[in-house]
Amino acid sequence: MLNQNLEAKYQVLLSHLRQFDRIAVAFSGGVDSTFLLYAAKEALGDNVLAVTAVSPIFPSSDEKETRQFCNQYKIQQEFLPSGDLSKPYFQTNPKDRCYHCKKDLFSGIQSLAAGHGILTVAEGSNMDDRNDYRPGKIAIEELGILSPLQDTGFYKSEIRELSNQFGLPTWDKPSFACLASRFVYGEAITEDKLRMVEQAEKDLHDLGFRQCRVRMHGMMARIELLPEDMDRFFEKRTRESVNHMLKTLGFKHVSVDLQGYRTGSMNE
C-alpha cells in the first residue's frame, strides 16, 4: 500500500509532466532516470522518448539494461554516441570537466530530440544532488534542461520507496556516477583506464560489495566501501583476492579508504 504523502507527491509529479505535449528523458538506467521515465510514460503515454548515451564513461551493461526496460514498458528509445575521449576536458580532466561533458551530452540529446519534433528534455537529478559540487548542473540549467524530480521535491529515499511499490527493477540498484568521476583531477582519462575501473568495480560487486567505488590515483586504486562491509573485506581470503584481481588488471597499488564510501569524494 502506497504511503499517502508519497502518493500525493507522485500525483504532483504526474501533473507537472502533463503540462508538456511531448518530452525526451535522458535515460541512463539508474534509479532516478528510470523512475522519471516511468512517470513520464504514465503521464504522457506514447509521447515520451528515452535517450540513452553510449560512451566509454558508462558501463557497457547499461545499454542492455535500458533496452530491456524500454522494451518492457513499450517506450521509444534512441541511443546517442557521446563521450569523445579526445576532447580536451578528458585529456586534462579539470575540476569543471563535468560541466563540459554535460554540455556536450545534453546538447546532443536536445538535437536528437528536436529531430523527433520534441523540444522538452528532462533529466533525473533529485533533491539530494544539491548537496555536492556538481558543475554539470550548471550546464543543464544553461541549456534549459528540466529536472522534474527536483522541481517536485523528490529525495532519493522516496524515489526508491515508490520504485519498489511500482515494481521497478532499479529500486535497490546501487547509486552510480559516470566512470570519469573515479579519476583525480588533472589526470588524463583514457579508455584503458576506464575499463580497469569498470572491471575492478564489477569484481567487487561479484564478491557481494554492491555499493562501492574504485577511485584511480595514478596507477593506485583507492577502494571505498560501506562501513558495514569493512570487516568482511578485511578477512584474509577476501582481501588477498581483491588485491590479486586489481593488480592483474594493471593497478600497481591497492588501498582502502577507511572513511568509507561517499559520493563526491574526489571533490574533497
- If DSSP codes are grouped into helix, strand and coil, which group holds residue 176? coil
Locus of grid cell 578528458: 90
User: Phi-psi category of 190—alpha, beta or left, where left has phi over 0 and alpha has psi -120 to 50?
Assistant: beta
Residue pLDDT tens, the chain, 268 long: 668 889 999 999 999 999 999 999 999 999 999 999 999 999 999 999 999 999 999 988 889 999 999 999 999 999 999 989 999 999 999 999 999 999 999 999 999 999 999 999 999 999 998 876 678 899 999 999 999 999 999 999 999 999 999 999 999 999 888 999 999 999 999 999 999 999 999 999 999 999 999 999 999 999 999 999 999 999 999 999 999 999 999 999 999 999 998 776 666 6
CATH T-level topology, domain 190-267: Alpha-Beta Plaits (3.30.70)
- In DSSP notation, 37-58 reads HHHHHHHHTTSEEEEEEE-TTS
Task: Report which secondary-structure segment, H or E, holds 9.
Answer: helix 4-17
Distance CA 260, CA 258 (A): 5
- If DSSP codes are grouped into helix, strand and coil, which group holds residue 78? strand
Cα 240 to Cα 10, 207, 212, distances in angstroms: 47, 12, 18
Residues 6+ apart with CB under 8 A from 247: 254
Residues 6+ apart with CB under 8 A from 19: none
Name which of 258, 101, 238 is nearest 183 in CA terms. Answer: 101
Strands 253-256 and 220-225: parallel
Statement: 4-165 belongs to CATH 3.30.420.40? no
Same CATH topology for 4-165 and 190-267?
no
Domain boundaries, the chain: 4-165, 190-267
Cell numbers found for residue 14: 504526474
- For the whole model, what pTM was predicted? 0.91
